[in-house]
Chain A
Amino acid sequence: GENVEQHPSTLSVQEGDSAVIKCTYSDSASNYFPWYKQELGKRPQLIIDIRSNVGEKKDQRIAVTLNKTAKHFSLHITETQPEDSAVYFCAAGRTGGGNKLTFGTGTQLKVEL
């Protein structure tokens, strides 16, 4: 089955700096890679996703890159703000029936003033 590894487990940055979280996956058939943000005591919510037919996707301050050959994908947050502090999860899955997502272990991001 799919195995997703996520690093780092904790990340502390100064407000305004950039943050990068990296994930690797094992199943070459995976073609859908979402990123979820979970604030303390709240549910995970999708912030951005990428499919295997593109290498990069950007939405304002967040961007995701995908390297299919190396089987890794990354989340980039620029100009970080205190409200970006949360746990971020990457996931990998396949399109088509089953719709199964395998999640990474999460990264606790703390943006300090």
Chain B
Amino acid sequence: ETGVTQTPRHLVMGMTNKKSLKCEQHLGHNAMYWYKQSAKKPLELMFVYNFKEQTENNSVPSRFSPECPNSSHLFLHLHTLQPEDSALYLCASSQVAGQGNTEAFFGQGTRLTVV
């Protein structure tokens, strides 16, 4: 395993539900990310956290709310989602060190279906 674990692997939720996706990394990295992967679309960056601080919010609707309590854990809180939000949500982590961009390690993803 790559050291990035996501739960749950699959989630079906109604449009009025509230749920959370969890990501945990055991690699000692200091940056974590949420990506959305839809059919026939590129990996879309949603949020970036560096040292627990959010540094990027890529125009994501407020029905997606990230939380990063520490550098090892990242959550994505979901509420009042739409069917078009159905996608694979991937978490990733990397080590930001000086001027070096290092490999982003991805989790297995959560397959979300909004009904």
Q: How far is the CB of B5 from chain A (nearest CB, A)?
A: 11
For B44, the chain A residues whose CB sits under 8 A away are 103
Contacts A96-B99, A98-B48 hold; do A43 and B106 have CB atoms under 8 A apart?
yes
Does A101 count as interface, using CB distance less than 8 angstroms? yes
Q: Are A89 and B43 in contact (CB under 8 A)?
A: yes
Q: Are A99 and B101 in contact (CB under 8 A)?
A: yes
Does B84 count as interface, using CB distance less than 8 angstroms? no
Does B31 count as interface, using CB distance less than 8 angstroms? yes
Q: Are B90 and A105 in contact (CB under 8 A)?
A: no
How many chain B residues touch A (CB < 8 A): the figure is 26
- Among the listed B99, B100, B108, which residue makes an inter-chain contact with A42, where contact means beta carbons less than 8 Å apart? B108
- Among the listed A4, A42, A43, A105, which residue makes an inter-chain contact with B41, where contact means beta carbons less than 8 Å apart? A105
Q: How far is the CB of A49 from chain B (nearest CB, A)?
A: 7
Inter-chain residue pair count (beta carbon < 8 A) = 64
Does B94 count as interface, using CB distance less than 8 angstroms? yes
For A95, the chain B residues whose CB sits under 8 A away are 99-101
Which residues in A have some Cβ–Cβ distance to B below 8 Å?
A: 4, 6, 31-32, 34, 36, 42-46, 49, 51, 89, 91, 93-106
A–B Cβ pairs within 8 angstroms, 16 of them: A32-B101, A34-B104, A43-B4, A43-B109, A44-B90, A51-B101, A93-B101, A95-B99, A96-B101, A98-B48, A99-B94, A99-B104, A100-B48, A101-B45, A102-B45, A104-B42
